[in-house]
Structure 1
Amino acid sequence: MEIKYSDKIPHINSFFTLYESTGWNEDAEKTKEDLYEAIKNSWYIVSVFSDEILIGFGRVISDGKLHAFIVDLIISPEYKLKGIGTEILNRLVDYTQKAGISDIQLFCANDKKEFYLKNNFIERPLNAPGMQYQIY
């Protein structure tokens, strides 16, 4: 099994299969085309393949100068806990830092918090919480 990392956009069907494995699309019900348009508009991506099968994906959206936001970091369930998520995160952060951006943000589920803390992210202070506007 050879693991390959790429900054190329994966095939629409491969990405949709990986994305569906997260359960994130259950409420939003986005189409393959919607999701693919979103990743095409990303500032930087990392795709991970094992024998030509997409097993991991991460992406950043950014203004390219001041702020960057990690919006997806997905690992196929059978490839979790093998260091792939850490490698994707490192590549996203490195690319962002090389562009001179020092403000990198993300949201994560409570059960993923330790992963990001272990990788040098810090929690926002309770007196400075993030906000979100959601339409469903």
Structure 2
Amino acid sequence: MGIIYTEETPNALDLFTLYETEQWNDFLHLTKESLHQAISNSWYVISAYEQSKLVGTGRLISDGITVALVSGLIVDPDYRRRGIGKNMINKMVTKCRECKLAIQLFTTDENMEYYKNLGFRTFANGLIYITINQHKQIQGDVFDGRNKV
């Protein structure tokens, strides 16, 4: 059976489990419920399933008028190199084109070529404002050159 794509938010446990495969929650420090709420509050969500297993998800954060930000694109490592991430990005791009939204994303240096191969181009430098609560978790990741953010 092939990969099925849906525009529904995955359930909290499946979402949390997928994020744990890449240790994303080591940075985010969210409960299952908080992570689910964050994804649920997105303007657009795309998820990929093999049978009932969540194998990928991504979302757009947007005002619905001018711009959409690609966020949280993740594919289970066991399902990579099958076009799942590309298909989810293509679905997000289609949604943005339908609504005439500019598309932006922030990524790590190691993922730049992946997104360039999907049609994205470098257009700006990014900055981050560190709040008190984020200082400890970000300092080790960003400022030591690992660029995990």
Sort the TM-score into its range (normalised by shorter chain). over 0.9
Name the TM-score, length of structure 2 as normaliser. Answer: 0.85
Distance 2:63 2:36 in 1: 20
Residue of structure 2 equivalent to 1:35:
35
Q: Could you say what secondary structure the match of 2:68 adopts?
A: strand
Distance 2:59 2:120 in 1: 16
Residue of structure 2 equivalent to 1:117:
116
Name the TM-score, length of structure 1 as normaliser. Answer: 0.92
**4+ aligned runs moved over 6 Å, structure 1:** none
Distance 1:2 1:28 in 2: 31
Any residues of structure 2 matched to 1:56-95 within 5 Å, and which? Answer: 56-95=56-95
Question: How many residues end up aligned between the 2 structures?
Answer: 132
Flag the 1:72–1:27 CA change in 2: closer, same or farther, 3 A: closer
Q: Could you say what secondary structure the match of 1:82 adopts?
A: coil
Identity of aligned residues (%): 38
Distance 1:110 1:39 in 2: 24
Residue ranges of structure 2 left out of the alignment (5+ in a row): 135-149
Q: Could you say what secondary structure the match of 2:16 adopts?
A: helix
Distance 1:7 1:73 in 2: 14
Question: For the aligned residues, what is the CA RMSD?
Answer: 1.1
Distance 1:10 1:25 in 2: 16
Distance 2:128 2:81 in 1: 30
Deviates more, 1:69-78 or 1:103-112: 103-112
